[in-house]
């Protein structure tokens, strides 16, 4: 009897040893996650407050609702909350940042959808870099030391700002392998979702407090710049086009947007994603999505209805 129990135990352990690594190594295999939400506005709503309350960036929300007054959208207005996202073309591992959509994705658990937050990125002339790095250290209550360039631009800046409510780094900071670039909070939360930083990635105070304890030192960080993303949602293919970094500035200024011309690389990406169904793509819908850059998925191919 003891031999039988021992044998069964051995088989159970052996089975777990075979199954566990396969599950542990699996990655999230869908092209998308989340759902687009329609919010019925009340009189008190403004886009800047709705953005923060729904973990959306300001420019992101304006792009999704270009005809609405950002300060007085009006009671009863239908406001699109772009909470469904196609994932960028990047390793689904660690932190992934897409600069065009000013959004951070954290793939915390293998096989599960990422956690996502809006961010601010570098302004013109001080762009956030693209490429791969990692989190090299973390600090609860960081100290801010303005760079030489910052103090030359504003001689009134102090040499050091200690932790506290006036600290531009907010309450928590993740230091990257790129010197002087961080993912951190802010003491100016309504700048999130805009190109306002000196290259760092800023987060809403409540979002960095949530992300900080979940990210271990050594976490991989991949930064890309992809205004055009494509992916499958069940048997339909969608395109998601966000404003480019330059267009986001124009949206802030209520200026006329320069047209974004779809590139050969974008066309190649779309055709590759469509695979054997590439001849069924609705290119008119693609052109409309590119022109409008609303920042939420638009269906461009339906296997069931395509002829």
Please determine, for residue 2, whether its predicted confidence score (pLDDT) is greater than 60: no
Give the three-state DSSP class for 8.
helix
Q: What's residue 7's pLDDT?
A: 44
How crowded is the C-beta side of 50, counted as CA atoms within 13 Å? Answer: 30
| The token pair that represents 240 in the structure block | 């998601």
| The token pair that represents 72 in the structure block | 């007085």
* Mean pLDDT of all residues in 71-79: 95
pTM of the predicted structure, to 2 decimals: 0.88
Q: What's residue 307's pLDDT?
A: 52
* Mean pLDDT of all residues in 262-271: 91
Q: Is 200 noted as a catalytic residue in this protein?
A: yes
Contacts 24+ apart (CB under 8 A), 63-70: 63/242, 63/243, 63/248, 63/251, 63/293, 63/294, 63/295, 64/294, 64/295, 64/296, 66/292, 66/294, 70/46
Please determine, for residue 20, whether its predicted confidence score (pLDDT) is greater than 70: no
Cβ(129)–Cβ(199) below 8 Å: yes
Rg (CA), the chain: 22
Between 253 and 188, where is the model more confident?
A: 188
Q: What's residue 154's pLDDT?
A: 87
Cα gap 208→94, rounded to integer Å: 16
Q: What's residue 153's pLDDT?
A: 86
Catalytic residue among 85, 172, 200, 293: 200
Cα gap 266→228, rounded to integer Å: 7
For the chain, the distance separating the N- and C-terminal CA atoms, rounded to the nearest angstrom, is 65
Q: What's residue 261's pLDDT?
A: 76
Q: Is 49 noted as a catalytic residue in this protein?
A: no
- Cα dihedral 58→64→67→70 (10° resolution): -20
Catalytic residue among 85, 172, 184, 293: 184
How do residues 188-225 score in pLDDT, each as one tens digit? 999 999 999 999 999 999 999 999 999 999 999 999 99
How do residues 43-67 score in pLDDT, each as one tens digit? 999 999 999 999 999 999 999 999 9
- For the domain spanning 91-225, the CATH number is 2.40.440.10
Sign of CA dihedral 230, 63, 252, 221: negative
| The token pair that represents 124 in the structure block | 């013109």
Alpha carbon distances (Å) from 170 to 124, 161, 163: 23, 11, 8
Least confident of 8-17, 57-66, 115-124: 8-17
């Amino acid at each position: 009897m003891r031999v039988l129990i021992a044998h069964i135990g051995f088989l159970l352990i052996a089975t777990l040893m075979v199954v566990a690594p396969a599950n542990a190594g699996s990655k999230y295999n869908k092209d998308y996650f989340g759902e687009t939400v329609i919010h019925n506005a009340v009189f008190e709503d403004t886009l800047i407050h709705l953005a923060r309350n729904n973990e959306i960036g300001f420019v992101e929300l304006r792009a999704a609702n270009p005809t609405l007054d950002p300060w007085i959208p009006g009671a009863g207005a239908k406001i699109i909350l772009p909470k469904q996202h196609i994932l960028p073309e990047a390793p689904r591992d660690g932190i992934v940042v897409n600069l065009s959509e000013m959004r951070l994705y954290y793939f915390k658990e293998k096989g599960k959808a990422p956690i996502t937050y809006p961010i601010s990125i570098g302004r013109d002339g001080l762009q956030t870099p693209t490429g791969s790095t990692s989190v090299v250290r973390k600090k609860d209550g960081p100290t801010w030391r303005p760079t030489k360039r910052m103090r030359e631009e504003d001689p009134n800046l102090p040499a050091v700002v200690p932790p506290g409510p006036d600290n531009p780094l907010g309450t928590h900071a993740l230091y990257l392998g790129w010197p002087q670039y961080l993912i951190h909070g802010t003491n100016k939360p309504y700048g999130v979702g805009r190109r306002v930083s000196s290259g760092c990635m800023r987060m809403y105070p409540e979002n960095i407090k949530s992300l900080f304890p979940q990210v271990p030192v050594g976490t991989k960080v991949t930064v890309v710049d992809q205004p055009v993303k494509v992916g499958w949602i069940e048997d339909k293919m969608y395109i998601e086009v966000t404003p480019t970094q330059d267009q986001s500035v124009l949206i802030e200024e209520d200026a006329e947007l320069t047209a974004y011309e779809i590139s050969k690389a974008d066309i190649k990406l779309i055709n590759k994603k469509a695979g054997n169904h590439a001849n069924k793509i609705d290119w008119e819908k693609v052109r409309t999505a590119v022109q409008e850059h609303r920042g939420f998925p638009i269906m461009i191919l339906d296997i069931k209805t395509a002829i």
